[in-house]
Chains A and B, each alone.
Chain A
């Protein structure tokens, strides 16, 4: 009998746990360690953040699903990994600290034969003084944050209804942020909500981003094949900003936020201040701060983790200039070097480098969007690690299931407003996620890399909302729903 432990129950960890149990059956144990008691379909937090959907619709309790699936569930946060065990205990184990189940604050250990680190990101609001729910801006990164953002937006709309002009600033809270798609979605949902409220003429909406160009999305932008012409996501996105009257500031690093004022630097090195009445800024992500120890107790955190706190896997981490980046630098198996029983998936794995070109201001400030690993790539890498483990439990020499982001495709449906007849979304597909200029002149397959705007995009996003919640609840037929 083998014990498989999954750290984290986000898209990657939860997908991995469900597939592991499906593949391994009763003979082996699957244990999920997560500090959260609820699963959150994060893409729909955007709708919670504009008050179009209550938080309850994007959350459900994990305990019920794990009980039905016979998956062990520990509401705890992982603190340290001992991949070689200790001098007194030869089995690998993880130090944990309970956050619920009536044992909050209590330490514990979980032994494993195979471990998947899917701990996701730490939301690093502290990287920008004054940013975040503890400061002067809002967030939609959790359902709770999004609910607070919705209340603040409602208050801002009430002021507009009373005739007061409002400036709403939405975007990225640091030069190294990722997840531009979420800010893009939120800005157009806010625009849509304010239009529906009939006060758009009293709102100045500003999109403040670390992307050097609109439509970059942290993936270096896309080239689309549209009606016989190659067009770019930049032109396509600019068109939407012009159409909707949303102002944009690109190549920005937010330095600090004060009550009602955002201070930022742009790529030319100049510094600016922007007054706001309502703001939602996405924070930069970092690893959750897991430590790692050798058998003799020596600290091997720096060996297993990158300085960002994300776990090193089978990627090529050799520092090299942008011009030398290759698709083959990206990991394929998510196996941690030296440990055939240890994997890091989803946001938890350390990318070898960014996808967008990293830039610096003349003052040396990095304005370098980090690469996204959310959504489809999270689910696919989680499933791949689960398949590898299931194979190796039967045959320890079995090869790993590959799932490189330089080969897999992804769909990104960025909502631009809700409503079954009035909604819209920018529906994009890209193949592969990480551009490969050796295989494709534009970096990606132009037949599969497409972008469309319209009501159908909203229907797709709504369908994905119900489909992925259904799948995450492990209801009948869930394995048939792809990642």
Chain B
């Protein structure tokens, strides 16, 4: 009989249909030149958001 306190006996969320990243995506997530570009892009996005959205009355 399964132990009712075991992780397998819990109401676990089914994530089996969630998309898995491809090998290429996983590789790109660690590809230094590509990630450098993403780093700059993300920093620019934060700065744009700061300029645009940190003014509390911005519309």
Q: Does B20 contact A (CB under 8 A)?
A: yes
- Check B53 against A455 for contact (C-beta < 8 Å): no
Give the CA-CA distance A452 to B4 in the complex, in Å: 37
Main secondary structure of the interface of B (DSSP, over half): loop
A167, A249, A408, A455: the one contacting B11 at CB < 8 Å is: A249
- Check B12 against A248 for contact (C-beta < 8 Å): yes
- Check B46 against A408 for contact (C-beta < 8 Å): no
- Identity of the chain B residue whose Cβ is nearest the Cβ of A264 in the assembled complex: B10
Chain B residues with CB under 8 Å of A483's CB are 50, 54
Q: Does A137 contact B (CB under 8 A)?
A: no
B10, B19, B58: the one contacting A206 at CB < 8 Å is: B10
- Check A242 against B16 for contact (C-beta < 8 Å): yes
- Contacting chain B: which of A41-49, A86-94, A268-276, A390-398? A268-276
- Contacting chain B: which of A61-69, A114-122, A181-189, A399-407? A399-407
Q: Does B2 contact A (CB under 8 A)?
A: no
- Identity of the chain A residue whose Cβ is nearest the Cβ of B11 in the assembled complex: A266
Chain B residues with CB under 8 Å of A463's CB are 43
B20-46 interface code vs A (CB 8 A; 1 in, 0 out): 110000001110100110110011011
Chain B residues with CB under 8 Å of A431's CB are 49, 52-53
B15, B19, B28, B50: the one contacting A482 at CB < 8 Å is: B50
- Check A455 against B21 for contact (C-beta < 8 Å): no
Contact flag A448-B56 (CB < 8 Å), given A242-B18, A249-B10: no
Chain A residues with CB under 8 Å of B39's CB are 456, 459-460
- Check B15 against A407 for contact (C-beta < 8 Å): no
- Check B30 against A273 for contact (C-beta < 8 Å): no
- Check B5 against A456 for contact (C-beta < 8 Å): no
- Check A239 against B18 for contact (C-beta < 8 Å): yes
- Check A429 against B45 for contact (C-beta < 8 Å): yes
- Check A247 against B12 for contact (C-beta < 8 Å): yes
- Residue numbers of A with Cβ under 8 A of B are 167, 204, 206, 214, 235, 238-239, 241-243, 247-250, 261, 266, 268, 270, 272-275, 332, 376, 380, 384, 401-404, 407-411, 421-422, 424, 427, 429, 431-432, 439, 448, 450, 452-457, 459-460, 463, 482-483
What are 12 A-B pairs with beta-carbon distances under 8 A?
A206-B7, A238-B13, A238-B15, A247-B13, A275-B5, A332-B57, A403-B56, A409-B53, A410-B49, A431-B53, A439-B59, A456-B36
Q: A261-B5, A453-B29 are in contact. List 11 more A-B contacts (CB 8 A).
A: A204-B7, A239-B21, A241-B18, A248-B15, A272-B9, A407-B55, A409-B52, A424-B29, A429-B42, A429-B49, A432-B53
- Residue numbers of B with Cβ under 8 A of A are 3-7, 9-13, 15-16, 18-21, 28-30, 32, 35-36, 38-39, 42-43, 45-50, 52-59
